[in-house]
Amino acid sequence: MSTKNQEREPIFSAANLKLLTGPLNLNNPITVQVLGICSALAVTAKMKPAFVMALSVTVVTGFSNLVISWLRNGIPPRIRIIVQLVVVAALVILVDQLLKAFVFDVSKQLSVFVGLIITNCIIMGRLEAFAMANKPWPSFLDGIGNGLGYGMILLIVAFFRELFGSGTLFGFQIVPESLYHMGYQNNGMMILPPMALITIGTIIWVQRTFKRSLIEK
Amino acid sequence: MYSNGYIFRYASIIVILAAAFLSAASVLLKPFQERNIEIDNMQGILSAVKIPGVTALNAIPQFNKYIVEEQVIDPKTGDVLNDYTKSPKEDAPAFKIDLKAELYNKAHNKPYKLPIYIAEVNDQKIYVIPMYGQGLWGPIWGNVALNSDFKTVVGVYFDDEEETPGLGGEIKSAHFKDQFVGKTIFDNHGNFTSIKVVKGGIGKLAPDDRIHGVDALSGATLTSNGVNDMFENVLKSYLPYIKKHS
């Protein structure tokens, strides 16, 4: 590829934009690739931790993709997984330290799950499948796109779980007091992890109803 | 192909860079994190006293409002070494004590000192004793608030570093903590009973002893044992102080 060719490609070309938007829909890491389910079940009882988790994962996928793509020509293939892990682990520890410094209460709620971002299959998956073979900018977009795709599902699940489980959104009371006086009760089941699985299952069902191409033969 | 030498050099450089980067981040962020931990401690103390509506944002003024006295005590004799009633309350020597280090000294038979916080709610004095112990995977800690008779539990607070969410992590839940309210740490003859965390439920205890026990968490026996041991171990150290002051 000539340098002239590289210069001509705009920062947000159609191909690059697709990297960003694909994971939000037809290539969603959770609902289509079914990766990163574990943390999606664990941190979605409330919107706030889900939002912070989504943000953390997006930052880690974006920057680990960027760094690995930047290093990709020098990484010896025999130790590439180790190098990827070092980069991901360093970023996750940094995110954890930042959360502890600036949003301590959320950091306490997320507890071990921030550390477990290291083992989130989406991150290693994107590094192996994309960043090792593509230039830094598209890799960064791919990472951000996948983080957003993950975060979007997290927030949708958390929306339903917090609304029906606690009657709040981001901690603010949504279900009016008068409804409780009329006998309405929060559904305690929504707080428990199994309901996250059922909610994700429902999202996958709805998505496949509209996009028949996603259904396996 | 890459030579072994290249691979070693590459791996070393990557690891050293990552380490340097993280050390720098850790040093820069430390003051913020320590401040957060102090605020968290205040919230824990106020939570044991059952002050409602304490958040990270109002913890400092609330702490200054409800805590009237902070003492450093000598566990051997029960004497008060430092009595702090000034403001700001977070500058008290008692508040700066590292409980983990003091309990380490205790375990190694070295001299040590302990903090106690005195809150005043509705003209009633409430004594808050901080605790520290071992859970299953890591440390657990908390506070127990006692009535001015040093016998009845007003409230407790627990936290942990890495107990399993949903199992041992449930020590933080209201349904576990609420069990402690109204339990007593002395029997009617004034003998220290601590509070037993009973596997299988307090139904297993003799009817007279049920006031000194709570139900353990199912699926979290070792964390429950940790809470049990933490109560016994820490409260024992306060017995001379309690004898002198009750």
pLDDT digits over B90-147, tens only? 888 899 999 999 999 999 999 999 999 999 998 899 999 999 999 998 999 999 999 9
> Which of B7, B29, B166 lies at the smallest CB-CB distance from A79?
B7
Indicate the pLDDT class of residue A33, thresholds 50, 70 and 90. confident
Check residue A1 and give its pLDDT. 41
Residues of chain B contacting residue A100, judged by C-beta atoms under 8 Å apart: 29, 33, 36
Domain that holds residue A188: 13-20+29-210
Check residue A7 and give its pLDDT. 55
CB proximity A74 to B under 8 Å: yes
CB-based contact A97 B26, cutoff 8 Å: yes
Percentage of the residues of chain A whose pLDDT score is greater than 90: 35
Tell me whether residue A4 is in a domain: no
Q: Omega of the bond prior to B240 within 30 degrees of 0, cis?
A: no
The number of CA neighbours under 13 Å toward the Cβ of B184 is 15
Average pLDDT for A191-211: 87
Residues of chain A contacting residue B6, judged by C-beta atoms under 8 Å apart: 76
Count of other CB atoms within 10 angstroms of residue B76: 11
Is residue B166 predicted with pLDDT exceeding 80?
no
Residues of chain A contacting residue B18, judged by C-beta atoms under 8 Å apart: 86-87, 89-90
pLDDT tens-digit map of A88-102: 999 999 999 999 999
Residues of chain B contacting residue A82, judged by C-beta atoms under 8 Å apart: 11
Residues of chain B contacting residue A94, judged by C-beta atoms under 8 Å apart: 21-22, 25
Check residue B151 and give its pLDDT. 92
- For residue A104, the chain B residue with the least C-alpha distance is B36
> Which of A76, A101, A193 lies at the smallest CB-CB distance from B36?
A101
Mean pLDDT of chain A: 85
Contact A139, A69 (CB under 8 A): yes
The model's pTM is 0.77
CB proximity B10 to A under 8 Å: yes
- Residue B191 has phi, psi (to 5 degrees) of -85, 140
- To the nearest whole Å, the CA of B3 is away from the closest chain A CA by 9
Contact A161, A199 (CB under 8 A): yes
Judged by CB atoms within 8 Å, which residues 164-183 of B form the interface with A? 165-166, 169
Check residue B106 and give its pLDDT. 92
- Residue B135 has phi, psi (to 5 degrees) of -90, -150
Indicate the pLDDT class of residue A28, thresholds 50, 70 and 90. confident
Q: How far apart are CA A113 and CA A107, in angstroms?
A: 9
- For residue B37, the chain A residue with the least C-alpha distance is A104
> Which of A78, A79, A94 lies at the smallest CB-CB distance from B22?
A94
Task: Produce one character per residue of B121-130: b if its CB has 16 or more CB atoms within 10 Å, e if not.
Answer: eeeeebbbbb
- To the nearest whole Å, the CA of B223 is away from the closest chain A CA by 17
Tell me whether residue A171 is in a domain: yes
> Which of A42, A94, A104 lies at the smallest CB-CB distance from B40?
A104
Residues of chain A contacting residue B2, judged by C-beta atoms under 8 Å apart: 76-78
Higher pLDDT, B159 or A33: B159
Judged by CB atoms within 8 Å, which residues 126-185 of A form the interface with B? none
pLDDT tens-digit map of A91-137: 999 999 999 999 888 888 776 778 888 888 889 889 999 999 999 99
Q: Where are the domains of chain B?
A: 68-245
- To the nearest whole Å, the CA of B244 is away from the closest chain A CA by 38
Give, to the nearest 10 degrees, the angle between helix B4-48 and helix A80-102: 20
Contact B103, B114 (CB under 8 A): no
CB-based contact B22 A90, cutoff 8 Å: yes
> Which of B7, B32, B159 lies at the smallest CB-CB distance from A78?
B7
Residues of chain A contacting residue B40, judged by C-beta atoms under 8 Å apart: 104, 108
Q: Residue B143 pairs with which residues in a beta bridge?
A: B130, B157
CB proximity A50 to B under 8 Å: no
Is residue A3 predicted with pLDDT exceeding 60?
no
Tell me whether residue A3 is in a domain: no
CB-based contact A101 B39, cutoff 8 Å: no
The number of CA neighbours under 13 Å toward the Cβ of A157 is 35
Q: What is the ipTM of this complex?
A: 0.74
CB proximity A98 to B under 8 Å: yes
Average pLDDT for A8-22: 77
Is residue B14 predicted with pLDDT exceeding 90?
yes
- To the nearest whole Å, the CA of B214 is away from the closest chain A CA by 24
Average pLDDT for A186-212: 86
How many domains would you assign to chain A?
1
